[in-house]
């Protein structure tokens, strides 16, 4: 399960895979056109500790487009140990983070953007 709500909260079950579609707007409100070769980076951090990064995922844009699909696989969403309750992280999305960084989604006047990880069941029995 992967869901994104109107507040840009990402909710995913630990160990699940899914695709996040990113778009951006220019300062004038028009849709941003990503260029071939652009890098889009998702960075997930411990809540209230932006120095403790738990996941970084980069996507290279293949051709000019107005949206970028970022797939997360089950290994990438297995953050930390097994959990018995939801765990909230913070996240941000940057465009070209290593050259001319622009934050597309991140901490703003509405606060941090949340990446909420739900528990997954263990894949083995007690046997």
How do residues 84-117 score in pLDDT, each as one tens digit?
A: 999 999 999 999 999 999 999 999 999 999 999 9
- Whether 66 contacts 23, CB under 8 Å: yes
- Whether 92 contacts 20, CB under 8 Å: no
Q: What is the predicted pLDDT for the residue at 70?
A: 97
CA–CA gap between residue 13 and residue 68 (Å, rounded): 22
**Mean residue pLDDT across the chain:** 95
pTM attached to this predicted model: 0.91
CA–CA gap between residue 60 and residue 35 (Å, rounded): 10
At 98, list the tokens.
């290593």
How do residues 34-56 score in pLDDT, each as one tens digit?
A: 999 999 999 999 999 999 999 99
Q: What's the rounded mean pLDDT across residues 4-18?
A: 95
Query: What is the four-CA torsion angle of 103, 105, 107, 112, rounded to 10 degrees?
Result: -150
Q: What is the predicted pLDDT for the residue at 121?
A: 85
- Other Cβ atoms within 10 Å of 78 Cβ, number: 15
- Other Cβ atoms within 10 Å of 72 Cβ, number: 19
């Amino acid at each position: 399960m992967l869901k994104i709500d109107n507040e840009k909260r990402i909710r995913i079950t630990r160990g699940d895979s899914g695709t996040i579609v990113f778009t951006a707007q220019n300062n004038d409100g028009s849709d941003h056109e990503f260029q071939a070769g652009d890098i889009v980076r998702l960075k997930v951090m411990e809540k209230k500790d932006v120095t403790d990064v738990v996941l970084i995922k980069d996507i290279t844009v293949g051709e000019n487009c107005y949206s970028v699909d970022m797939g997360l696989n089950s290994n990438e969403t297995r953050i930390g140990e097994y959990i018995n309750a939801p765990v909230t992280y913070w996240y941000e999305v940057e465009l070209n983070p290593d050259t001319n960084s622009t934050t597309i989604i991140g901490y703003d006047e509405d606060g941090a953007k949340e990446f909420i990880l739900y528990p997954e069941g263990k894949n083995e029995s007690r046997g």
